[in-house]
Each structure stands twice: as C-alpha cells, then as structure tokens.
Amino acid sequence: MAPKKPPCLPSLLLPLLTLLLPQADTRSFIVDRENDRFLLDGAPFRFVSGSLHYFRVPRVLWADRLLKMRMSGLNAVQFYVPWNYHEPEPGVYNFNGSRDLTAFLNEASIADLLVILRPGPYICAEWEMGGLPAWLLQKPEIQLRTSDPDFLAAVDSWFKVLLPKLYPWLYHNGGNIISIQVENEYGSYKACDFTYMRHLAGLFRALLGDRILLFTTDGPEGLKCGSLQGLYSTVDFGPADNMTEIFALLRKYEPHGPLVNSEYYTGWLDYWGQNHSTRSISAVTKGLEAMLKLGASVNMYMFHGGTNFGYWNGADEKGRFLPITTSYDYDAPISEAGDPTPKLFALRNVISKFQEIPLGPLPPPSPKMMLGPLTLHLDGYLLSFLDILCPHGPIRSILPMTFEAVKQDHGFMLYRTYLTHTVSEPTQLWVPNNGVHDRAYVMVDGVFQGVLERNMKHQLFLIGKMGAKLDILLENMGRLSFGSNSSDFKGLLEPPVLGQTALTQWLMFPLKVDKLVKWWFPLPLLRSSHLQAPSGPTFYSTTFSILGEGGDTFLFLPGWTKGQVWINGFNLGRYWTRQGPQQTLYVPRPLLFSRGALNKITLLELENVPPEPQIQFLDRPILNSTLHKTYIYSLSADTQSPSEPMELS
C-alpha cells in the first residue's frame, strides 16, 4: 500500500500547482539548530503528538481512535513496532489483520497525522518482553540488547524485513513518517554497550538512508548512556517532574535544536494487585502548557492506551514480580473503550492556545451495552483434555525444562511426575531459588492442592501415595518488559522439592489452549471423560445472543478468581478478580455478533469457581476496585442501569 498522494488535479492546473505543492523531492523534515526548532518543508514546525499502540486496538477501530486524536488538536501519532508481534518464530513474519503496519500508517495518513515511529528492537511499553521475541531465549546465554553476535544476527534479520517496509513511508519519500527512534531508553539499561547502539544506528542509516531524522529517548538519568553522536537526543518525563531541570540537562546533549519530550505521561500503568494509577487533569494540562510555551515538541504517552489482549502484557520487577494488567487504560485522554474523557477536552483546550484545532465536535462515546447475568456451564477439567491440548504428547526429561526450551512462548505448560514414595504426613512442596515463573497450580491425582507463586512465600503442604500423579500447571504471566537485568525464562526453573527430596523424572506438556478454544467454537465436542477429573483448572462457557445492534461492553466476573477469557475464539486477556484493581474486561463491539446471532464466551478458571458460575456484561468499566472485594450489580427494576454495586465480601 503506497503512501497517500495529493488528490488528483485537473491536468491544466497540475503544472501550476506542482510548483506550490511540496513534492517528494522537496518534502523535508529537519532540525534547524540555528533557531532551535524543526522545519517541515522549510517552515517552522512543532509537533504535538500522542501515543497509540496499534497492537492494543482491533484494526477495525484504528480509524476511530486516530480521528479522535486529530480532532483533539494533535498533528502526529507516535507508536512502537513490537518485534514479537510480527515475527512469532524465527523467519516467520506476520503483517496481516491487526498486524498490518502499513495499513495503520495509511490510516494515520488519512487522519492527517504525521508519524513518529519507534521500531525498537526493544520497546518496553509494558509489552511482553519489551517487544523482544521469546524465541531469542532458546539460546539461554544470549545477552539481550547488546552487541552479542547472536542477538545482533536476529536483530539484523528482523530489521532487513521491517525497515524496507517503512522506506516508502518516510516523509521525504512522500509518506508521513517524520522521525524514527533507535532502541528505547537504552541509557536505563545496565549494558551501556555503545557498539550495539552504533550498530543499530548504522543499520538504520543503511536501510533508511541519510535524510530521515533518527533520535533517541531517555529518562534524565539515562541520557549519558542512551545518547549517541548522529542521533537526536530527546527525553521523557511526567507532570510531577521538574521540566526546567530536565530540559537544562538535555541541553548538555543537544545544545541547539528543538526541545523534545517524547513521552509526557498523561497517566500511568497498572499492576495486578495494586491500585489503579491516575494522573490529575490539572497537573497534566499545566505541564503541557509549560512545555508548549517553551516551544518544545511534545508527545503525550499514552493518548489512547487500549488493551493487552491475549498474553501480551509485560511485567516489572520492583522488589517482586509485578505483571501488568490486561487493561492499558493508562488514565489516558481517550479511555480504553475509545471514549473522549474530560482530560482530553482539557488538553485540547491547552493545545488550542498554540495551534489550530480542527473544527467540529469530537465523535460521541460509543454505544454501550449491558447483558446478563448469564450462567456458565462446566465444559470440563483442563487435565482431561491433554490429548487435544498436547497432541504430540509430553516431552520427557530428568529435570524440568523451561517454556523456552520446549518452544512454548506464552500461556500454560503442565509438568507431571509421580511420587516415588508415600508421603503420609503433610509435607511442604517448594521450588528453590524462586524458581516458579510465574504461578503454579498444584494437583495430586487431579485434586487441586493450592498455588505456588513467584516471589511469594510458599506454604503448600501435601500428602500422597507412592505412584500418585503430581501435576503442576505453570502459568506464564508475561515476561519482564523493564529493568530486567537477566532474561525472564518461564516455567519451573529448578526441580521442585517435596520435603527434602528433589523431584526428578518429569513429563512436560506444552498446552495449546487457544487452539482448543477455537476448535470448540461454536459448540464444544465433549466426552463424559472430560468431566472426570475431580478439580483443578476448569473450562466454563455459555452462548448468548444480542437482539439489537449491541455496543461496547465490559465483562464482569463476580466471584471468579483468576483465569483467561475468550469471546468467539478471540483471547480477550487475563482476569484476576481476586486481586484487582480491574474487575471488568473491555469487550469491543466488533468482537460480537448481533441481531440474534450466536456468541460464545469461554473461561479457563485456574483456581476457584463461584457457587453461582455467572458473569455479566456491564455498560461501564470497573478499573479501580478496592482489593479483595467483589461486587454484584443487580438490574434495578425501574431502569436498565445497574444499581450501586453491592459489596459481596
């Protein structure tokens, strides 16, 4: 798909107007160091940009979100390209559907937004492994984000596919990409490997040419290691930071040229088990206005956050492992459901003081829908589907193997062994060196015993006869996306110990859960044997239809504990009702069939099924519930809107 060209013109006008319109050979975006500004086609230019990640929004909604950004007064959109989203296996590439990068570039062009593109290779972004593909860890000694030849070989191979796709979209070639970032906050990474950064800069120049503006972004403390000759240095900071101090520090690296904040935080990320993060409208607007008054160019991170569908969330490590939530609402100006918020209008008002805002109203919030409660029925226990979930059978090994070693990147793997002696007294099961990555659901002869969790104190005691089957289902909760000083392998990293005995002789079952759920859709092909296992992770489902057109909605799972959800075979993401802060999952209307057609929802509940296995669809999100409480909304008799939530526990 070629970049959008100027509209076709009557032939007699063309010669005249081509003198006026910037053509590919006269289009330019450069740094004017004499006047501390950018020049676009020779005219002074300042970008007011927002971050939107195409990989967190269904493709059918891209145009809607980009339009709302343009109508907010932005003139550019900034986004990453996650390597792992496009190269699922070495040498296998996917640029289709919601991965169609050039389609997104074209949508941005149609929305009249310039593009600031950040292809990594590492992107952070609270995304699984910061965008790096997990298959890199099949070489366990690889040194990520360094000049390690194994890492550079994979990077070169990837960029030789990606960067040529971007070349026609560069602004001076007729496209909308005005600048490209090299790496991401490299100065915050322990390696500080200038050979690596120089290699990347050389590769980008070789594949993108000399004219495109290449830049780096670092926090104030990262400029020293993150900056490189030939790459324009920019910083990132939020409303609570000292703009004057940070820009003064930036001037040590860029004495001349425009000041740029590449990530001005409009909100912040959420971790499971912590309260929902917010940033006040007054602080965010005040900080933006101060930067615009200085003539700085600013990108607001995030302008629309979207969702970590499937298993795509990343994680941080702050004393302990902190997985990012499914919702990436980020308290951003455009909500997770794509609705303009008061913060958007306040920011739009600030922007209007400095540059022209497109005329006309913003599109209204999308229609929302309530449905339910719906009762789900038991489809079967996870352990009873091993023949379908692991069709090639288990992998045998004396010691447990990691997900990466068996080439299972995401989701779940079952580890099975048999007790070599009878354990008649309750005996502790534990894994040395914090070796549970990340959560382990333990069963003995199919009976659920409890959970072992990364970074948490283990208190799990069990008994069992000689020959009893010990099953440990491992859940990968997402690989570290920031601050990881070592590679984040997943699975049982050490042999579990029962009492004083290290358990050996393991069977590993990589589980293709998504394939099973898709295969089931629309109706499960069940056998009675699937209902045999007495307990443990369980599939529940139901079908439902929407009479009218329907709308966006928010799946509410009162009383459920933790698991994964699929709607019509689409992996909506993780829920963790017990932990919060989010109690609902955003369900985009395009995922649903309307006018009476059949929809199907499937849950994989990993811990405890509520007495009443019900779910609801609400017309509003619950992202900041206080912890360890659950609510139920009952439809009030006189209206269809839910009454105030009633606390259940």
List contacts with ligand NDJ (CB under 6 A).
Answer: 124-126, 184-185, 236, 263, 269, 316, 482
DSSP 595: T
Of 269 and 371, CB closest to ligand NDJ? 269
Q: Which residue has the tokens 């352990």?
A: 383
Q: How far apart are CA 202 and CA 83, in angstroms?
A: 19
Minimum separation from the CB atom of position 268 to ligand NDJ (A): 7
Nearest CA to 621 out of 649, 580, 590 is that of 580
Q: Which residue has the tokens 């926090």?
A: 219
Of 299 and 553, CB closest to ligand NDJ? 299
Of 27 and 53, CB closest to ligand NDJ? 53
Minimum separation from the CB atom of position 270 to ligand NDJ (A): 10
Q: Of 185, 404, 475, 605, which one is the catalytic site residue?
A: 185
Q: How far apart are CA 428 and CA 425, in angstroms?
A: 10
Catalytic status, residue 647: no
Of 306 and 411, CB closest to ligand NDJ? 306
Minimum separation from the CB atom of position 131 to ligand NDJ (A): 9
Side-chain-side CA neighbours of 408 within 13 Å: the count stands at 25
Contact 254, 217 (CB under 8 A): no
What are the phi and psi torsion angles at 65 (to 5°)? -65, -45
Cα-only R_g, the chain = 26
Name the closest residue to ligand NDJ (Cβ).
Answer: 124
Of 78 and 146, CB closest to ligand NDJ? 78
Minimum separation from the CB atom of position 236 to ligand NDJ (A): 6
The 10 Å Cβ neighbour count of residue 141 is: 8
Tell me the two tokens of residue 298.
């600013």
> What is the secondary structure of 475-510 as a DSSP string?
E----B-SS-SS----EESS--EETTEEP--EEEEE
Q: How far apart are CA 394 and CA 528, in angstroms?
A: 23
Nearest CA to 623 out of 266, 267, 128, 270 is that of 270
Q: Which residue has the tokens 């999308």?
A: 366
Q: How far apart are CA 480 and CA 206, in angstroms?
A: 31
Contact 438, 323 (CB under 8 A): yes
Minimum separation from the CB atom of position 325 to ligand NDJ (A): 13
Helix (H/G/I), strand (E/B), else coil: 648: coil
Contact 133, 157 (CB under 8 A): no
Of 237 and 403, CB closest to ligand NDJ? 237
Q: How far apart are CA 637 and CA 640, in angstroms?
A: 7
Q: Of 87, 107, 128, 263, which one is the catalytic site residue?
A: 263
Of 347 and 390, CB closest to ligand NDJ? 347
Minimum separation from the CB atom of position 318 to ligand NDJ (A): 7
> What is the secondary structure of 576-597 as a DSSP string?
-TTT-S--EEEE-GGGS--TT-
What are the phi and psi torsion angles at 401 (to 5°)? -105, 155
Minimum separation from the CB atom of position 302 to ligand NDJ (A): 8
Minimum separation from the CB atom of position 115 to ligand NDJ (A): 17
Q: How far apart are CA 482 and CA 321, in angstroms?
A: 11
Minimum separation from the CB atom of position 51 to ligand NDJ (A): 9
Of 236 and 552, CB closest to ligand NDJ? 236
Contact 41, 24 (CB under 8 A): no
Give 646's strand partners.
Answer: 632
With 0-12 / 13-18 / 19 or more C-beta atoms within 10 angstroms meaning exposed / middle / buried, residue 334 is buried
Minimum separation from the CB atom of position 129 to ligand NDJ (A): 13
Of 171 and 189, CB closest to ligand NDJ? 189
CA distances from 581 to 169, 275, 554, 576 (A): 40, 6, 14, 9
- Strand-strand pairing, 395-397 and 469-475: unpaired
Minimum separation from the CB atom of position 512 to ligand NDJ (A): 30
Of 331 and 605, CB closest to ligand NDJ? 331
Of 277 and 434, CB closest to ligand NDJ? 277
Contact 32, 58 (CB under 8 A): no
Helix (H/G/I), strand (E/B), else coil: 563: strand
What are the phi and psi torsion angles at 245 (to 5°)? -65, -45
Catalytic status, residue 263: yes
- Strand-strand pairing, 395-397 and 213-218: unpaired
Q: How far apart are CA 471 and CA 326, in angstroms?
A: 27
Residues identified as active-site: 185, 263
